[in-house]
Amino acid sequence: MKILAIDPGPAQSGFVVLTNNRVESSGVMLNDDMRSYLMPSNAELLAIEMIASYGMPVGREVFETCVYIGRLVEAWNWARCLMQPRRPSVLVYRKDVKMHLCGTPRAKDGHIRQALIDLLGPPGKKSDPGPTYGVKSHAWAALAVAVTAASCQPDGIGVQGRNAS
């Protein structure tokens, strides 16, 4: 399964394309560029990190990110209708990512990154790239969204660890 996952922000977003337990591409791009990136994508699933309210006051950037999440889903659905049969999009909450990868809602970014490396393999280096090679910055959060979304699909397709049989 090819998954396009996005860690949205108010101005730019991290993304990763995960295919067969390997990062095909990743990076951070401006939001308008991200919407354009969705159009030719041949991913089977779009997974976007969703914002949840925990009762604390939030600022303008959080609301701008919420609006942008809606714009991404709309762009994905529009592109799918034009190009091929509709493919699903899912919203993945950060709490679910933490629980899936680390087993606790108190996990920090470093714990999540290490869990991804343990599951998929190390980044490696340019001369010997590993399965997570090139993942940086907000793309790590997008990769966590992709892995979590894959494990929650009703067809049972999930990401298998590198030591799985």
Q: Is the distance from CB of 127 to CB of 112 less than 8 angstroms?
A: no
Domains of the chain: 2-151 (3.30.420.10)
pLDDT tier for residue 154 given thresholds of 50, 70 and 90:
low
Q: Are strands 12-19 and 22-30 parallel, antiparallel or unpaired?
A: antiparallel
* pTM of the full structure: 0.88
Q: How far apart are CA 113 and CA 82, in angstroms?
A: 36
pLDDT (tens digit, 9 = 90+) per residue, 55-83? 888 899 999 999 999 999 988 887 666 55
Report the sign of the C-alpha dihedral through residues 24, 132, 99, 52, in that order: negative
